[in-house]
Each structure stands twice: as C-alpha cells, then as structure tokens.
Amino acid sequence: MWNIQFIIKGHYCEIGAMEKRSRCEVTDLLNKLEKTDEAVYNSILTLLERIAQIGPPCNRTQFRYLGNKISEIKVKNLRIFCFYQPSLKVNRLLILSHGWAKGTKKEQNRQIKIAEKRYTELFS
C-alpha cells in the first residue's frame, strides 16, 4: 500500500512523494544527489519549489506531459515521473512517483510503465 510523504507546500499545489513500507525512492534519490551532485540537487529543489508556488513551467525541457496522466520533471539527465491527484479542484497535489538517470528509449518506456502502474495502484 502506497502512502504520500509531503515535501513542499505552495500556492499552486502541494508536492508529495510516493512511499511504501517507510521507503521513499524520491527522497532517497534527493538525499543521494545532495551528497554527490549538489548542482543537480539544487536545480531540482528550485524547480519543485517553483512548481509548488506558480505551477509547472511551459518549457518542455523542464516539465513534459508524457500521456496517460504521467508527466516528467527533467533536470540534466535526471527524470522524476509525476502525476496530479485526480478530482482535487482547489488543492492540487502533485505526486512524485520515482526518479532515474536518463538512459535508452527502451529503459524510458519501462520507467513510464512503472509510473503508470503506480498511478493505478494509488488511485484504484
């Protein structure tokens, strides 16, 4: 069973990450980046704070809708898959599924399928 770990609250939306059995892949990834690549870590946090305050950027190099309710947040070669909680009209909730370092198209398709499966598990 998935839970949501809230990360950032803003005027536009709240941002939370999926957590299962007290383990959150997104926060694990962010913690690792904070130690290994501070520039990417700071870029991701800045982008997440911007999304929470004023919404996702129109710039497709930073935020892109992939279809089937799944979007991706992009910073350099890092991708974080996300989706909005359905049926919330006033308080939007952007849920971060998981992240990965961009690789092949085949691997990207596999990661998108994981995000789609998690969306279904969370909202079914």
C-alpha distances (whole Å) from 90 to each of 44, 76, 86, 93, 97 are 25, 32, 11, 10, 22
The pLDDT value given to residue 49: 97
* Sheet (strand 70-75) strand order: 3-9, 13-19, 92-101, 78-84, 70-75, 63-67
Average pLDDT over all residues of the chain: 92
Amino acid sitting at position 42 = N
- pLDDT tens-digit series, residues 86-98: 766 666 899 999 9
